[in-house]
Structure 1
Amino acid sequence: MKAAGRSVGARLRDHLAASDPGLLRLTAGLRTVGAIALTLAVLAPAGLAITHLVAGAMTSMAATFAIRERQRRAQAVTLAVGLPVALASVSAGALLSERVVIGDVFAVALIFCAVYGRRFGDRGMSLGLIGFQMYFVSLFVGASPGQLPGLWAVMAIGFACSAVVRFAVVPVTPTGLLERLREAFRARMARLVTAQLALLDAGPDEVDKALEEVRDGTARLHETALMIQSRLEAGTPDEPTARLVQRRIADAEIAAERLGLLLLSARSAERADTLTLHLPGAPAPEVGRMPGPEEATALLRRDLVALSTVVLRSGPSGTGVAQVRNRLLGYRDEENLPAGSAAVRDVFRGIGEAARAVMGLRIALDGPQDESDDSPATARSREELDAEDAAIDAEETEEEKGEKPKGLERPTTRAAVQVAVGSTLAIVGGELLSTDRWYWAVLTCWIVFINTASTGEILVKGYRRLLGTVFGVVAGIMLAALVGGNTTAAFALVLVLIFAMFYTAPLSYTLMSFFVTAMLGMLYTLLHTYSWEVLLLRVEETALGAVCGVVAAALVLPVHTDRRTNELLVTVLERLSEVTDAAVGQLSGGLPADLLDKARELDQALGDLRSATKPLTHPVTPLRARRTNARYVVALLETCAYHARALAATAELLPTHPSIAADPRLRGAAGRTVRNIDTITARVADDEVTAPVETGPSIASLLAGDDAARYGRITGRVLRHLERLDEAVVGLARPLDVPVTAPDR
């Protein structure tokens, strides 16, 4: 039954699925390398010049990584339209190569259009990338008008090879990708349970490290859940199925995170704060031996291993796994809980709830299961899941239509103007450094604007690109000396470096820049233009381009990091208020709301904020207090989001779960929390707002009274989430400089 008993191949697949969810990085690397290799295999027998081979390889690479659509039909259309765009761009580069001023003006106009194209969605961004990249391919290989017919043929072959690899050799369908993401979710959930097991056994000197692993596992599980949510509509046959999978993924994530919190609480002198699971570097609470008899600890250890095994089992369970599942689900009944302290018994309850969430996820993903070995506890859990599934409908919700920015306020227009100005500066400075390699400065200036929205993000990206380039130059020198004049070895190294570039791109921009520069060293070797001076010039041009990008971002229509993070913070708080208010309203007996979509919007807004605060939390930032404050605020918001998601999931159980009943008193008791969220939102959005955040009696005390029995039982879990959410919202007031007042009574 232990994970060690599984086959080596299965363990390797689980490891790969957990480290690369959906195999997105592996697929990107294989597609790009495959397209380049196929292009070279087609072109090499024709005895073409090295410049044509390099142009063909770079064309297939650009045609592969530029495509952004998820549907295969849309990808095919973009590839078909991208070929004439690429031909026109290369032709312009060749025809204008001898006309410096006109060529520079055209380059700036092309860059503006390429960035502005993001306004038109994925296809606009893809065509902009193709046009921009192919213009600089013509400069890189020194294309002339007389070479154009040969280059056109080579480029057409590059596009064709890219299409063959994309649609036939390494195909990716939305359904298949979603299936791999589901496997990644299972693998990461199993890893999180394993990390929780390590936390159970950690000694006093090891608990901080064990807690960090639990914290990292929780974050990775949430990351995978967001990736699944973003692909549900394309990867599922209909809306009800998408909603069902979304619900089960959310249940499993909440159950896994709650289990870690309960385990940490059982090991500490008092109930652990949820913030501890979200704040990087937060010290673990003081811990000691697990309370209660040793037998209970041994059972916990056994059942955590069993839970990890049940999570990973995606096929037919078999009698042995069914018996383990029945035992874990039995912990949902009080009479089956082992003897121990209240905190330890809570952990066993958490294991039971996690097992139920795993079973619900398996039913949603794999369809009906064999029920012949079900225990009474398992049968009851299955009935609850069936009732919940039946309650999920496919009602469509109207999207909010807010006023969109226009003119220079539109992000795509602003970015296009900024990059055009920055590129103009880079062209002028780059040509002063080199009349032949000036385009490296422009390329760097353009790249630092991709997927960035504030001056701070551009500064960090420029710094990382420069750092990767410096180390890449050193690697390029060593590799060039290693291959010498061997063309085959150089092309083989180029393929290896390109694969590494695409495989590491989502993990580290510095690593990606390192592999790009090392690859360029190989290309220069192939073109017989390699020298130490060329690679040193590469560093100088990169530094110049990064500086020009930062200057343009800071002086032309700037979006300061503070402004960007404040805007996103307001969005997160508004989404948090909506989820909380809707969940409390439903728990109070109000009309049903689309809580799943609201919770998803909250998660997306929080993810955007987390990305925007990276410049503030970067290790090299000199503003240490500001970095600590930003991390603390994000961690508090993640804590709030966790409790809001849990409340939303509980509220959706009302029609089907017998132990949860609506209580009208909840709206009044939790109204203070919603008002406090709105107060903080107004304060962040407008410095003139002076309304304070209110504190007062606990929510549990507000619900105590003679009416408790009248409205049915409100579970302790609901109260705990409400109280923790209330505490976290009040905690946000201090770092955001919002005054806090307490009533006299």
Structure 2
Amino acid sequence: MLKRAFMAPDPGLGRLRVALRAVLGVTFAVTVVQLSGLPLTASITGGLAALLALFTVGDPTVRRQVNTTALLPVVGFPVLALAAGLHGLPLVRDAAFLAVVFCGVYARRWGPRGNALGIFGFMMFFATQFLHAVPAQLPHLYTAMVMSLAAAGSVRFGFWCIERRTPPPAGPAPLAGRGLARVTTRQAFQTAFACGLALAVGQMVSDERWYWAVGTAWWIFVNTASRGETLVRGFRRVLGTLMGIATGMVVALPLHGAPAPTAALVAVCVFGIFYTAAVSYTWMMFAVTVMAGLLYGLLGVLDADLLTLRLAQTGVGAAGAALAVLLVLPVTTHATTDAWIQRALRCVHACAAEAAARLAGSETADPAPRVTELELLLGRVRLSLAPLVHPLNPFRARKDKARRVLALLDDCAREVRGLASVAADPEASHDERLAAACRHVEAAVEALTTPGKSRDAAVASAAAPEHLPAEPALAHLHDLERALAELAAPLRSTRPSPLVGA
């Protein structure tokens, strides 16, 4: 697990650069706030605002990222005022918190900007509880937020604008749906229910630190789309928190809030959060938990009992999330997985068609964007299938099917990348058999994705010749046909749920 987090492939050192930039951005933001003479609570708020801006703002262009970052105070200011103003009215405060939870999740329907603003709003309410902020502190918190966002923005969009040199690929569009059929709408109700349950039970565990349970429930629902994904994420969050608390006992407690070493270790934690986020949620949560312990040390309230309470509240939040996805408008793992697999298969066909058109002499055809889109879609498929391939999944047959599907989709992606590489060669010649091979691919994809059409047809439509042709493009196309043919078996089932029974 540690090897996966820190030794995972990092093409172009993208994760490393983003993590180093985050450390620089957050450090610069906190330094600016500190030098301005604002209190420690303002520095913590500013550091959190900078971290969130660097972590959650993921629009596809630099201009949109700048606009979203500029909009963060529009959400943050009123939420801070609401949370601080209701500090002495627990029941009203709790109702307002749940309203912020619902709106924050519902906003995800508007894409990356809605997601970033929703997370920022929630975390500003959370931070107010963490710092026990009151209205008299709002001017300091507002000032710190603006200064920190400006400082972090100057690093991200000025000094080290990675996206301007290598624009990030736009993520796949969310799964379609209307009303309660839309995943984000269902998740808004699920998250509100989970956070409400976490809030109630968390306050019974501790009337001072209950917000950790709410925060756990909230973050478990971020970047998940089915109950299986949510349950796995909850397990990983508890595991990461447990490891982080054990480390906090050894590292954070002996420091007693000493500023210099604490600041250095917080910087290491920021690096860990950004470097591991894309590959290991467990290790990301480990870094978050250690950082939280260090911040409590700066505030002078850290002790072993507080760390133990943190683990208990994490368990409460994870249990609330688990009950929510099982009882409230559940989104099945199969429904989500099947939708992403179908989108990936259609993208496979589009890649092959673009490559064949390029080889046929078209100057406008370009398979490269489709290849990038396919990689992103396969990432979503892997995330959706994660519950089925998890070591704790007791259903071995379903696990084997899921692994087989992932392996064959990876084969498809490899052949598509090879085909695109051949098509990019200006000296590659067109073979008249390419059109026929592409028709076979199209028929195989149609058989696998068209409702009511037997997937067995994919075997016949993707039958390859006995002797592999020498032409590289044809070789890739026929290997692609074989992978599609083999996909028919694990996707075939007489039940409505071919990979998972729920």
TM-score when normalising by structure 1: 0.59
Structure 1 position 726, deviation (Å): 3.5
Does the C-alpha gap of structure 1 residues 623 and 74 become closer, same or farther in structure 2, counting only changes over 3 Å? same
| Residue number in structure 1 paired with 2:196 | 424
Larger Rg: 1 or 2?
1
**Equivalent in 127, 130, 147 of residue 140 of structure 1:** 130
SS in 1 for 2:166: helix
Percent same amino acid among aligned pairs?
35
Q: 1:660–1:715: 8 Å Cα contact kept in structure 2?
A: no
Partner Cα distance (1:737, 1:18) in 2: 33
Letter aligned with residue 113 of structure 2: R
Residue pairs, 1:176-325, within 5 angstroms: 176-177=165-166, 230=169
The answer to whether residue 416 in structure 2 is matched with residue 661 in structure 1 is no
The answer to whether residue 437 in structure 2 is matched with residue 448 in structure 1 is no
| Residue number in structure 2 paired with 1:172 | 161
| Residue number in structure 1 paired with 2:499 | none
Residue pairs, 1:226-625, within 5 angstroms: 230=169, 404-580=176-352, 595-625=367-397
Does the C-alpha gap of structure 1 residues 103 and 693 become closer, same or farther in structure 2, counting only changes over 3 Å? same
> 1:397-439: per-residue Cα shift (whole Å, max 9, x none)?
xxxx999522122222222222111111111111111111111
Q: 1:430–1:438: 8 Å Cα contact kept in structure 2?
A: yes
Letter aligned with residue 98 of structure 1: G
Residue ranges of structure 2 left out of the alignment (5+ in a row): 1-5, 495-502
Partner Cα distance (1:402, 1:72) in 2: 21
Residue ranges of structure 1 left out of the alignment (5+ in a row): 1-15, 179-226, 233-400, 704-713, 740-745
> 1:122-165: per-residue Cα shift (whole Å, max 9, x none)?
22222222211111111111111222233333333323332333
Q: 1:69–1:75: 8 Å Cα contact kept in structure 2?
A: yes
Partner Cα distance (2:180, 2:78) in 1: 29
SS in 2 for 1:116: helix
Does the C-alpha gap of structure 1 residues 670 and 659 become closer, same or farther in structure 2, counting only changes over 3 Å? closer
Letter aligned with residue 50 of structure 2: S
TM-score when normalising by structure 2: 0.85
**Equivalent in 99, 105, 112 of residue 89 of structure 2:** 99
Structure 1 position 510, deviation (Å): 1.0
Partner Cα distance (2:361, 2:143) in 1: 68
Structure 1 position 583, deviation (Å): 6.0
Structure 1 position 106, deviation (Å): 0.8
Partner Cα distance (2:76, 2:428) in 1: 63
Does the C-alpha gap of structure 1 residues 158 and 726 become closer, same or farther in structure 2, counting only changes over 3 Å? closer
Partner Cα distance (2:340, 2:414) in 1: 18
Structure 1 position 584, deviation (Å): 6.5
Does the C-alpha gap of structure 1 residues 736 and 526 become closer, same or farther in structure 2, counting only changes over 3 Å? same
Partner Cα distance (2:466, 2:33) in 1: 77
Partner Cα distance (1:36, 1:491) in 2: 11
Partner Cα distance (1:82, 1:166) in 2: 15
| Residue number in structure 1 paired with 2:111 | 121
| Residue number in structure 1 paired with 2:498 | none
SS in 2 for 1:453: coil
Partner Cα distance (2:336, 2:175) in 1: 18
- Alignment length, in residue pairs? 488
Residue pairs, 1:70-109, within 5 angstroms: 70-109=60-99
Does the C-alpha gap of structure 1 residues 738 and 17 become closer, same or farther in structure 2, counting only changes over 3 Å? closer
Letter aligned with residue 442 of structure 1: V
Which is worse superposed, 476-485 or 580-589? 580-589
Q: 1:174–1:231: 8 Å Cα contact kept in structure 2?
A: no
| Residue number in structure 1 paired with 2:3 | none
**Equivalent in 446, 452, 460 of residue 678 of structure 1:** 446
| Residue number in structure 2 paired with 1:25 | 15
Letter aligned with residue 551 of structure 1: L
Structure 1 position 517, deviation (Å): 1.0
Root-mean-square deviation (CA, aligned residues, Å) is: 3.6
| Residue number in structure 1 paired with 2:49 | 59
Structure 1 position 112, deviation (Å): 1.4
SS in 1 for 2:392: coil
Does the C-alpha gap of structure 1 residues 716 and 406 become closer, same or farther in structure 2, counting only changes over 3 Å? same
Q: 1:427–1:442: 8 Å Cα contact kept in structure 2?
A: yes
Q: 1:659–1:715: 8 Å Cα contact kept in structure 2?
A: no
Bigger RCO of structures 1 and 2 (CA < 8 A, at least 6 apart): 2
Partner Cα distance (2:142, 2:362) in 1: 65
Q: 2:101–2:191: 8 Å Cα contact kept in structure 1?
A: yes
Partner Cα distance (2:253, 2:481) in 1: 63
Letter aligned with residue 734 of structure 1: A
Does the C-alpha gap of structure 1 residues 67 and 569 become closer, same or farther in structure 2, counting only changes over 3 Å? closer
**Equivalent in 476, 479, 484 of residue 729 of structure 1:** 484
Q: 1:445–1:549: 8 Å Cα contact kept in structure 2?
A: yes
Partner Cα distance (1:571, 1:152) in 2: 44
Q: 2:175–2:183: 8 Å Cα contact kept in structure 1?
A: no
SS in 2 for 1:734: helix
